Amino acid sequence: MIELRSITKHFGTFAAVDNVSLKIEKGEFFGFLGPNGAGKTTTIKMMTGLYRPTSGSCIINGFDVQQAPLRAKRSFGYVPDQPYLYEKLTGREFLYFIGGLFDLDLDLLDEKIEQCSETFDLGKFIDKRADEYSQGMRQRIVLSSALLHDPKVLVIDEPLIGLDPRSARLVKDTLKRMTQEGMTIFMSTHLLEIVEELCDRIAIIKEGRIIHEQAQSASHSFDGQLESIFLELTK
Amino acid sequence: MRELLLVLNVKANVLLKSLLDFRPQSLIKNFSSFLIFGGVALGVFFLARESTNYLIHQAHIGQFLYHRFLSMLLYVFFVTVNLGNLIVCYASLYKSDEVTFMMGLPISHEKIFLLRFVDNFFYSSSTLVLLGVSWLLGYGSCYDMPWYFYFTAVFLVFLPFMLIAAILAVLVLMGLMKLASRTGVRPLISGVIVVYLASVFVYFRLTNPVKLVQDVMKYYPDVNRYFGYLDAPSSKALPNHWVSEFLYWSVIGDPARALPWFFLLLLVAAGLMVLAAILAKSMYYSSWLAASDARAVRGPRTRTLRLRFMEFGTRIFPPKLDAFLKRDFWVFFRDPGQWLHLLLLLVLLLIFVISLGSLELKTGQPMLQVTSFLVVFLFDGFLLASVLLRFVFPAVSLESESFWCVRASPVSLTRLYFYKLGSSLFLVLLLAEVLAIASTTLLGNNRVLVWVSACAMALVGLALTGLNLGAGAYFAAFKERNPIRVASSQGASLTFLGSMFYLSFVAVLLLIPLKRFLDYAIVRGQVMTESLYLPLGVIALLSLLVFGLSTGVGLRAIRRDY
Closest CA to A187 of A54, A69, A103, A81: A81
Degrees (nearest 5) of the Cα angle A220, A224, A228? 110
Q: Which residues of chain B have pLDDT under 70?
A: 1-4, 7-8, 25, 185-186, 295-306, 357-364, 445
Closest CA to B249 of B400, B143, B326: B143
Residues in chain B with CB shorter than 8 Å from the CB of A50 are 404, 407-408, 561-562
**Strands A14-24 and A63-64, sheet pairing:** unpaired
Do A130 and A162 contact (CB within 8 A), yes or no?
A: no
Nearest Cβ partner for B402 among A85, A100, A106:
A85
Do A230 and A157 fall into the same domain?
yes
Closest CA to B162 of B124, B201, B135: B124
Distance (Å, whole) CA B183 – CA B78: 28
Do B147 and B64 contact (CB within 8 A), yes or no?
A: no
Nearest residue of B to residue A65 by CA position?
B408
Task: List, as ranges, residues 298-357 from B with C-beta within 8 Å of A.
Answer: 312-315, 319-320, 322-324, 326-327, 330-331, 334-335
Instruction: For residue range A17-52, list pLDDT tens digits in order.
Output: 999 999 999 999 999 999 988 999 999 999 999 999
Do A143 and A159 fall into the same domain?
no
Do A141 and A159 fall into the same domain?
no
User: Is the preceding omega at residue B221 within 30 degrees of 0, hence cis?
Assistant: yes
Distance (Å, whole) CA B395 – CA B88: 18
DSSP run (H or E) holding A74: helix A69-74
Q: Print the domain residue range for A200.
A: 2-75+151-234
Nearest Cβ partner for A100 among B320, B401, B407:
B320
Distance (Å, whole) CA B334 – CA B311: 13
- Rounded to the nearest angstrom, the minimum Cα separation between B249 and chain A is 54
Distance (Å, whole) CA A219 – CA A232: 24
Residue A181 has pLDDT above 60, yes or no: yes
Residues in chain A with CB shorter than 8 Å from the CB of B481 are 87
Nearest Cβ partner for A93 among B330, B400, B401:
B330
Do A103 and A123 fall into the same domain?
yes
Q: Is the dihedral of CA A74, A75, A80, A83 positive or negative?
A: positive
Task: List, as ranges, residues 467-526 from B with C-beta within 8 Å of A.
Answer: 481
A-interface mutation test, from B306, B311, B312, most A Cβ less than 10 A away: B312
Q: Which of A127, A150, A173 is the last residue before a domain boundary?
A: A150
Do the chains contact at B409 and A88, CB–CB below 8 Å? no
Do A8 and A69 fall into the same domain?
yes
Do the chains contact at A50 and B320, CB–CB below 8 Å? no
Do B267 and B87 contact (CB within 8 A), yes or no?
A: no
- Rounded to the nearest angstrom, the minimum Cα separation between B556 and chain A is 13
Do A120 and A155 fall into the same domain?
no
- Give me the pLDDT at residue B217, please: 78
**How much is the CA Rg of chain A, to the nearest whole Å?**
18
Do B420 and B396 contact (CB within 8 A), yes or no?
A: yes
A128 touching B (Cβ < 8 Å): no
- Give me the pLDDT at residue B57, please: 84
User: CATH code at A207?
Assistant: 3.40.50.300
Task: List, as ranges, residues 57-76 from A with C-beta within 8 Å of B.
Answer: 69-71, 73-74
Residues 6+ apart with CB under 8 A from A215: A200, A201, A202
How many separate domains does chain A show? Answer: 2
**Strands A184-188 and A153-157, sheet pairing:** parallel
Instruction: For residue range A144-173, list pLDDT tens digits in order.
Output: 999 999 999 999 998 887 788 888 888 889
Task: List, as ranges, residues 16-55 from A with C-beta within 8 Å of B.
Answer: 45, 48-52
Closest CA to B222 of B73, B371, B32, B64: B64
Closest CA to A198 of A222, A219, A234: A222
Closest CA to B356 of B271, B291, B457, B442: B442
- Give me the pLDDT at residue B9, please: 77
Nearest Cβ partner for A52 among B313, B405, B561:
B561
B400 touching A (Cβ < 8 Å): yes
B-interface mutation test, from A11, A50, A71, A86, most B Cβ less than 10 A away: A86
Distance (Å, whole) CA B93 – CA B113: 7
Closest CA to B410 of A68, A45, A81, A184: A68
Do A52 and A146 fall into the same domain?
no
Nearest Cβ partner for B404 among A70, A80, A96:
A80
Do A146 and A158 fall into the same domain?
no
Q: Which of A104, A121, A150 is the last residue before a domain boundary?
A: A150
Reduce the DSSP state of residue A104 to 3 states and report it: coil
Do A61 and A125 contact (CB within 8 A), yes or no?
A: no
Residues in chain A with CB shorter than 8 Å from the CB of B335 are 88
- Give me the pLDDT at residue B319, please: 93
- Give me the pLDDT at residue B360, please: 57
Do A155 and A221 fall into the same domain?
yes
Residues 6+ apart with CB under 8 A from B463: B502, B542, B543, B544, B546, B547, B550
Do the chains contact at A50 and B323, CB–CB below 8 Å? no
Instruction: For residue range A207-232, list pLDDT tens digits in order.
Output: 999 999 988 876 677 777 888 888 88
- Rounded to the nearest angstrom, the minimum Cα separation between B456 and chain A is 37
Q: Which of A150, A172, A197 is the last residue before a domain boundary?
A: A150
Do A28 and A128 fall into the same domain?
no
Do A45 and A136 fall into the same domain?
no
Other beta carbons within 10 angstroms of residue A55's beta carbon come to: 11
Do A126 and A89 fall into the same domain?
yes
Q: Is the dihedral of CA B58, B61, B62, B67 positive or negative?
A: negative
Q: Is the dihedral of CA A132, A136, A137, A141 positive or negative?
A: positive
- Rounded to the nearest angstrom, the minimum Cα separation between A222 and chain B is 33
